[in-house]
Amino acid sequence: MAEEFPYKIVTLPDEENEQIKRDFKGYISGAVKVEPLGYFFQGIYQDYAHRYYTLPVRSTDVFVASYPKCGTTWTQEMVWLLVHNLDYEGAKCRLDKRFPFTDEDSVIDSRTLELPGIKKLDVQPPEPGKFLDMVLTLSDPRCLKTHMPFSLLTPGILDTCKMIYVARDPRDVVVSYYHHHRMWVPLGYNGDFKMFFNYFLSDQVMWSPFWSHVREAWERKDHHNLLIITYEELKADLSAVTLKVASFLEKKVSPTDLTKLVKHLHFDSMKKNPSVNAEVHATTGFCDAREGGFIRKGKSGGWREYFDEPMKVEFEKWMREKGKGLEKEFKWLP
Ligand code: A3P
């Protein structure tokens, strides 16, 4: 018998929910939290929670998991090429087709594409459940992206398949996530950075709370099927992280292969690579290119240009209080 979903999904109080629907016009179904950890989603998550929790996983699967904006796409491109023995020809196919996002159905509410005020699109709205169906029919070895924390994924997933978890300094995450919310037209966020900053700190953006998400991965760091990497490590030494990931995936990479792969994964090449930069969505109206695109700045520490002094103090306090030492483990704070 399929496992029961063991958590309680609660709708936010009416007033909060109405405010969120005003600020995020794409959240037609409002917002919910999954107790006890309080993971925040659009209401449509309820239609998929059980399917995510019981997703059949295979021993050949490789997951890339993260809280959003931590360097998921960067890691996916690396992982896909390593898994597929550096098939650069195959990598010309769009990343979201080769490396599907298991949670996608609960991110873009298909009804948003019909809303007035949301740019008219020349594409058909996706059928609900379409993305999960695609994941189920993919042939082996599947490379799958998820932003779900461990507790909302198939229990014991690491006993079946490998996962690479990417984390990033939350100060850079909040900036990147802000642009992401303005960029994805169907999410309908038109507010300023300060307002988004407040939503982030109160764990009211999708897949938050950030620290519970990261902590769930950290608690499993010694599992032989989990590799945790950070955006900052990728930036500091892409070759070293690539070799670490290759070894984790039991793939051999020659020095020549490594040079080529690192060049392919460099920010400048990824920024202009149409198979990973999601530029196709700009032509469909899904994506507002003025927000810098999906491969945007690619820097560590860019948050300094967004935070004023009080925001800096408030965020650091939040990192120390909620991080409970993880902010130091990840070297985000001294
Ligand atoms: P910024 O918005 O700070 O530029 P995700 O893939 O998890 O959504 O993360 C997106 C972030 O990773 C964006 O950060 C994007 O620019 C950055 N990124 C993607 N590819 C990169 C690369 N090759 N080098 C550096 N940063 C990259």
Residue 298 belongs to domain with CATH number: 3.40.50.300
Rounded to an integer, the average pLDDT of 140-161 is: 98
Tell me: pLDDT of 1 over 60: no
Give me the pLDDT at residue 122, please. 64
- Rounded CA-CA distance 65/166 in Å is 6
Contact 158, 59 (CB under 8 A): no
Domain count within the chain? 1
Task: Classify residue 153: in a domain, yes or no.
Answer: yes
Give me the pLDDT at residue 279, please. 75
From 64, 74, 233, mutation site for ligand 1 pocket: most ligand atoms within 8 A of C-beta: 74
Tell me: pLDDT of 300 over 50: yes
pLDDT tier at 2 (50, 70, 90 boundaries)? Answer: low
Asked whether 296 lines ligand 1 (CB < 6 A), one says yes
Task: Classify residue 26: in a domain, yes or no.
Answer: no
Task: Classify residue 190: in a domain, yes or no.
Answer: yes
Residue 147 bears catalytic tag: yes
Tell me: pLDDT of 167 over 80: yes
Task: Classify residue 199: in a domain, yes or no.
Answer: yes
Task: Classify residue 132: in a domain, yes or no.
Answer: yes
Buried b / exposed e over 296-325, threshold 16 CB at 10 Å, is bebebeebeebbeeebeeebbebbeebbee
Task: Classify residue 50: in a domain, yes or no.
Answer: no
Task: Give the structural domain span for 316.
Answer: 58-329
Give me the pLDDT at residue 229, please. 98
Task: Classify residue 5: in a domain, yes or no.
Answer: no
Task: Classify residue 298: in a domain, yes or no.
Answer: yes
Q: Which atom of ligand 1 is nearest to the CA of 297?
A: 4
